[in-house]
Structure 1
Amino acid sequence: MKHTVVPLQAPSAVLPPLPSGSQVIDNDHIAAVFDEVADLLDIEDANPFRIRAYRNAARTLRALTFDVAKTLSRGEALPKLTGIGVDLAGKINEIVTTGDCSLRQRLRSTLPPGLVGLLSIAGLGPRRVKNLYHDLGIETAQQLCLAAQQGRIRHLPGFGERMEARLLSAAQKGIGKDRRLPLALVEPMARRLTEYLQQIPGVEQATTAGSLRRMRDTVGDIDILVVAAPSVDVTTQFISHPDISTVLVKGHARASVMLNSGMQVDVRIVEPAVYGAALVYFTGSKAHNIAIRQRAQKLGLKLNEYGVFRAKNRLASTTEVSVYQALGLPWITPELREDRGEVAAALAGHLPGLIELTDLKGDLHAHTHASDGGNSLEEMALAAQGAGLEYLAITDHSQSLRVAHGLGVEQLLKQIDQIDALNSRLQGMTLLKGIEVDILEDGNLDLPDDILGRLDLVVGAVHSHFGLTLRQQTQRLLRAMDHRYFTILAHPLCRLINERDPLNLDLPAIIKAAAQRGCCLELNAQPPRMDLFDLQCQYAKDEGVLISVNSDAHRTADFANLRYGVAQARRGWLEKHNVINTRSLTELKAWLVIKSPTTFRG
């Protein structure tokens, strides 16, 4: 079964120093070797499928919750990993053993050594590095600065004066590639821009594309597709938007800009006749696009951003539905377009009926001002009701989390009485009594059984001792989940996007244990968390583990984040029945009763 998650941020093109002596080679180092191999192959115009294989392997390695080198050092074979076959597994072993692989060394020997350094400059990918090298002989950052100062780069196709200035600045400052940002932070920027574009006279439609439309948990840049006739000068009006700090590229059909936030935005203008094909193409992912192009080739067709063709006859292009139909496929929702079996499922008529936001009946993780929240019990209840929910679990922190003013026994007992009193007068909304109890270092829970037993549900969470070994961390969670009153494992990997890496954890073992014990795993929709990841949700689904999509709301406005959790669930192929809080209150209470203490060893 898959042991993978999506990457937290875009991989760096700069390879870390090779280990020596007793230094440990970690997953990031192996992934960096594979990333560089992919970049060097791309510069060499190698087979795109081969390039993609190395990039996918790098993403898998970065997302693993166990250390590959330590696994191999114990004489154990690697488990089956997504995108890593016998050949790549052999290269992983080579890198663990020697710190490098012969393929990378060979590729480096065929290209000027400075080209690898150019890949670390913001705005430069393998294709642009190749253009700079072949057209201008640029091999190093110093040569790039000189060429930019002399005005020679702007004349290359796809560069221009603005891009030249940006590359000069980046090369001089040594700026690396930008980090990916949480979806919830990027989406409002994109919404402002699309609304602005839609107000331009002559613009028929403006739609986000790329990873943002696929609702990835992190976004590297914003892609916007605009439908307008050729006579409409969209880009001139677009670049006057106040959020734009720098114009990188401006043409009649395309503009590339940097926002004041540092996010890059690419706008492409297409005619109405090809909108559907262009939207498929620019939504991606690249892997999905390759898969459906292969499907087109099997049918004797050609697929590109302008449509589906048989010879010179265009069969479809105006809508996405027509493009997929021309390929003998139903429309595939953007969240699934990652080449994870969606094309085969579509052909077989087995695409999942994905969960919708309106399917959620409740939220099983929320806080009040009793701990670290910003609102009262009643305010949170009414806000949840306003968000379309029928029930809300109040799960303030427990006592050991002092920084969050966690509740002790007396405080929790008082809150239980307050919830009972409030429920007696609430209409159309029910508060459930819960706690986000700390999982202590030894796997015990932070409150005694006689208190936990009085609650409707118990949400267990790690908030300390993040640096335990894989075995220690895994055993810690297994012991906690073995507890008789344990209901949901909150934000299982404890990652914070761009701030804290996931726990060193054998997540497949946790998922299997959850299936055995009848526990749920949380998909936490807080923008910095988005934890579980999509692939992990899919794995949990395969193992029969229920997911709870929760806002972890700390204030009334936070229930709006549930939509991002649902998007992540959809990317994980989850359907309504895979999510516990799509059940009615009656059904949920029945499940909580069935999940009785006698089924546990705690």
Structure 2
Amino acid sequence: MAVHNGEIAAIFEEMADLLEIEGANPFRVRAYRFAARTIRDLPGEVAEMVARGEDLTSLPGIGDDLAGKILEIIRTGTVAALEAQRSKTPATLTELLRIPGLGPKRVQALVCALNLRGLSDLQQAALEGRIRTLPGFGEKTEQHILEALAARTGKESRMQLAVAMPSAEALVAYLNQCPGVGRVVVAGSYRRARETIGDLDILVTANTGRAITDRFIRYPEVREVLAHGETKASVRLQNHLQVDVRVVPDESYGAALLYFTGSKHHNVVLRQLAQERGFKLNEYGVFRGAVRVAGDTEESVYAAVGLPWIPPELRENRGEFDAAKAGRLPTLVELQDLVGDLHAHTTATDGRHGLKEMADAARRRGLRYLAITDHSRRLTMARGLNPARLSAQMDEIDRLNRDLTDIRLLKGIEVDILEDGSLDLPDDVLGRLDLVVGAVHSRFNLSKQKQTDRILKAMDHPHFSILAHPSGRLIGRREPYDVDMLRIIRKARERGCFLEVNAHPERLDLTDLHCQIAREEGVLLAVNSDAHSTGDLDDRRYGIGQARRGWLQKSDVLNTRSYAEVTRLLRRTMET
């Protein structure tokens, strides 16, 4: 059984949560969280490192104890320490931890104050208005808890795209080894770059299907076979992800790929367009009567209904049909269009690699500039920079730039936006930087009016360049704070500053809809990795997926521009 990095990281995160509830040593909790991020962000699989006999203690933050636990997880799929901790932790607490927005400290406070025995008790307390009376909670938090509980019972379980990706890629490689296989493609919401997916739909072309489905259900990570036939099979993997495989002939490939990619709403409109032309459209092709007139490619299906090919990321029935008919489909931005990254961290705060290492890693990925934006002093958990340490870092960047070739480092800061809208560092320090990335890291529970006013005031600051992760959400863990995003977008346009599409797979913030609105309002967006290690620079691919879902073209993205052009635009924000 192969164990992927995401599964190891999830085990360490759960350990950290349970230890924090118990009130364990904060350094021990932090060690597990740091290890989880290290493992999650590695470019290669830890299991492959073990197979090659590599020393796991060479990884940042991984000592002998954690290395031993990683080996145990790879061998058994779990670790005895976690099972022991689970047995010591009341089931109530474990259940509550799965509610987005309820971290260990809040869970502990709720259980102690309300004597909760489970989710039903939590829901009853929220309905009775008892949560809002507790210190640090309030009416808005209470409402978010109710909404999260409703979503938990009313929606299917979904997995982050980045967590599902290793499973998808490994399965594609596995199925490609089967004799007689033509093409193997992952369809569904995965192909549309949705931020979370419910399951994986894999399409395979072959003349006969039984050999494919037989091989598929023998995949080593299969936990349960749900269905098995000549051309279809469905399994559940060890990580609980459901995977469906469908085998189709070449002549149906395009129609099947379109059908299983979705979205459902897009497919409904497409079938209606086919009917208007006297065709029948299904996963086998486009038919006039019994005669197939298209279906071997997606392009042929769209052409049959009088449309150009529509990129998968746009297939949500949000205007793509009108744009296609009018010849106004955007030429979507691609990963190779990014020539720089405007949000990255180093060991000066909570990053895991130094300036030179980050610069070299960015250069190897074809980038021409990288902004170093470590945290400001308010973020004490990240050892944020005070004016003296930031000044020293600026001097170090200047020295390094004299020796660097093919890449430039920009001097920046991810400065905290304080509750009153002021910035966490003095103007004389901010004014020496190439860019200032503002971010909200506290007081997420302010009212919509106060939160919006707070951010608008920060954006009016004369040295403000980019608003980082604008909604503050963490997918599946923290709801976005309540803010008027249209006003934020229009302020960026008025002020001449920029918004970020944060590519970290837990953020993907802005949302696709807000990206689309920003594009329509003429606001440039920066697709940034928010890298805390060299490997994190590869997260830009998730940000590009989000940007494409938001209809962004190369011209809509700030960091597709040359170093000379981007520094000119950033200088303009610093001089406003």
Question: With structure 2 as the length reference, what TM-score do the two structures score?
Answer: 0.74
Partner residue in 2 for 1:264? 242
Partner residue in 1 for 2:312? 334
> Which one of the candidate residues 251, 264, 280 is aligned to 2:258?
280
Distance 2:258 2:431 in 1: 52
1:420-450 deviations in Å (ceiling 9; x for gaps): 0000010000000000001111111000000
Partner residue in 1 for 2:108? none
- SS state of the match for residue 246, structure 1? strand
1:171-216 deviations in Å (ceiling 9; x for gaps): xxxxx86532221111111010011011111111111000000111
Partner residue in 1 for 2:554? 576
Distance 2:547 2:422 in 1: 29
**2:513 is equivalent to residue 548 of structure 1:** no
Distance 2:303 2:387 in 1: 60
CA distance 1:547–1:277, shift in 2 (3 Å): same
8 Å CA contact 2:181, 2:204 repeated in 1? yes
Q: How many residues align?
A: 447
**2:169 is equivalent to residue 187 of structure 1:** no
1:527-556 deviations in Å (ceiling 9; x for gaps): 111111111000011111110000000000
8 Å CA contact 1:203, 1:232 repeated in 2? no
CA distance 1:32–1:277, shift in 2 (3 Å): farther
**2:442 is equivalent to residue 464 of structure 1:** yes
- SS state of the match for residue 204, structure 1? coil
Q: How is 1:370-389 mapped onto 2 (pairs within 5 angstroms)?
A: 370-389=348-367
Greater shift, 328-337 or 180-189, is seen at 180-189
Distance 1:481 1:414 in 2: 26
- For 1:538, give the aligned amino acid: Q
Distance 2:476 2:572 in 1: 40
Partner residue in 1 for 2:429? 451
- For 2:320, give the aligned amino acid: E
CA distance 1:436–1:21, shift in 2 (3 Å): closer
8 Å CA contact 2:209, 2:230 repeated in 1? no
> Which one of the candidate residues 172, 176, 179 is aligned to 1:201?
179
Distance 2:392 2:276 in 1: 67
**1:297 Cα deviation (Å)?**
1.6
- SS state of the match for residue 424, structure 1? helix
- For 1:488, give the aligned amino acid: I
Partner residue in 1 for 2:567? 589
8 Å CA contact 2:434, 2:571 repeated in 1? no
8 Å CA contact 2:466, 2:499 repeated in 1? yes
Q: How is 1:551-562 mapped onto 2 (pairs within 5 angstroms)?
A: 551-562=529-540
**2:394 is equivalent to residue 416 of structure 1:** yes
> Which one of the candidate residues 196, 211, 222 is aligned to 2:189?
211
Distance 1:200 1:407 in 2: 54
> Which one of the candidate residues 431, 435, 439 is aligned to 2:409?
431
**1:580 Cα deviation (Å)?**
0.6
- SS state of the match for residue 509, structure 2? coil
Partner residue in 2 for 1:537? 515
Partner residue in 1 for 2:284? 306
**2:329 is equivalent to residue 359 of structure 1:** no
> Which one of the candidate residues 460, 463, 472 is aligned to 1:482?
460
Partner residue in 2 for 1:239? 217
What 5-or-longer segments of structure 1 have no aligned partner? 1-7, 34-61, 63-118, 121-175
8 Å CA contact 1:398, 1:435 repeated in 2? yes
**1:248 Cα deviation (Å)?**
1.1
Distance 1:208 1:418 in 2: 45
Distance 2:539 2:235 in 1: 28
**1:230 Cα deviation (Å)?**
2.5
**2:515 is equivalent to residue 513 of structure 1:** no
Distance 1:21 1:216 in 2: 36
Distance 1:523 1:427 in 2: 28
Distance 1:375 1:429 in 2: 17
Partner residue in 2 for 1:324? 302
Partner residue in 2 for 1:228? 206
Greater shift, 316-325 or 547-556, is seen at 316-325
- For 1:368, give the aligned amino acid: T
CA distance 1:31–1:396, shift in 2 (3 Å): closer
- SS state of the match for residue 478, structure 2? coil
> Which one of the candidate residues 331, 344, 360 is aligned to 2:322?
344
Partner residue in 1 for 2:472? 494
8 Å CA contact 1:179, 1:498 repeated in 2? no
- SS state of the match for residue 288, structure 1? helix
Distance 2:569 2:485 in 1: 24
Partner residue in 2 for 1:94? none
Q: How is 1:395-410 mapped onto 2 (pairs within 5 angstroms)?
A: 395-410=373-388
Partner residue in 2 for 1:564? 542
Aligned-CA RMSD value: 2.3
Partner residue in 1 for 2:504? 526
**2:355 is equivalent to residue 392 of structure 1:** no
8 Å CA contact 2:435, 2:574 repeated in 1? no
**1:30 Cα deviation (Å)?**
8.6
8 Å CA contact 1:437, 1:461 repeated in 2? yes
- SS state of the match for residue 294, structure 1? helix
8 Å CA contact 2:279, 2:289 repeated in 1? yes
- SS state of the match for residue 183, structure 2? strand
Distance 1:461 1:20 in 2: 33
**1:593 Cα deviation (Å)?**
2.9
**1:595 Cα deviation (Å)?**
3.0
**1:594 Cα deviation (Å)?**
2.9
Distance 2:402 2:512 in 1: 39
Distance 1:580 1:216 in 2: 23
**1:368 Cα deviation (Å)?**
0.3
8 Å CA contact 1:181, 1:497 repeated in 2? no
8 Å CA contact 1:520, 1:545 repeated in 2? yes
8 Å CA contact 2:339, 2:559 repeated in 1? yes
Distance 1:278 1:17 in 2: 46
**1:592 Cα deviation (Å)?**
2.1
**1:19 Cα deviation (Å)?**
8.8
- For 2:174, give the aligned amino acid: Y
**1:415 Cα deviation (Å)?**
0.3
Percent of aligned pairs with the same amino acid: 55
CA distance 1:596–1:495, shift in 2 (3 Å): closer
- For 1:340, give the aligned amino acid: R
- For 1:319, give the aligned amino acid: T
Distance 2:312 2:543 in 1: 16
Distance 1:596 1:391 in 2: 18
> Which one of the candidate residues 264, 272, 286 is aligned to 1:294?
272
Distance 2:436 2:127 in 1: 47
1:16-68 deviations in Å (ceiling 9; x for gaps): 779978798958979999xxxxxxxxxxxxxxxxxxxxxxxxxxxx9xxxxxx
8 Å CA contact 1:202, 1:232 repeated in 2? no
Distance 1:514 1:350 in 2: 25
- For 1:398, give the aligned amino acid: S
